[in-house]
Amino acid sequence: MTISLSRVLSLIVVAVAYVRAWSIPNGFWIVTLVCGPLLTLIWFPQQIDDLTFGAWYRGYQIDSHTPGIAIAAMGWLFLLLFALAVFLAHRPGIR
């Protein structure tokens, strides 16, 4: 397993979300439960494609591969939206 720039940046975004969520009640667990699956999308897109290829869904078989970059991009989109939500949820006057 290689450490790529995408993986390092994703860990930095999650670390910043942890720091920002520190003042939110149960913020640690919220960040953990949301970011865990999102990091999986970013770190292992090819393996996720291998798991879903050939699966049956509503009577149809998935018969084409999804590019790994598309899976990772979806993970990045949701990770950045979640980090933005954590930043917007922080209210400085309320504790």
Each residue's pLDDT tens digit, 26-77: 889 999 999 999 999 999 999 998 888 877 777 777 788 889 899 999 999 9
Can you give the pTM of this predicted structure?
A: 0.82
Taking CA atoms, 16 is separated from 9, 13, 37, 49, 92, in Å, by: 11, 5, 17, 29, 17
- C-alpha 90/C-alpha 95 separation (Å) is 10
Predicted local confidence at residue 66, as pLDDT: 86
Predicted local confidence at residue 17, as pLDDT: 93
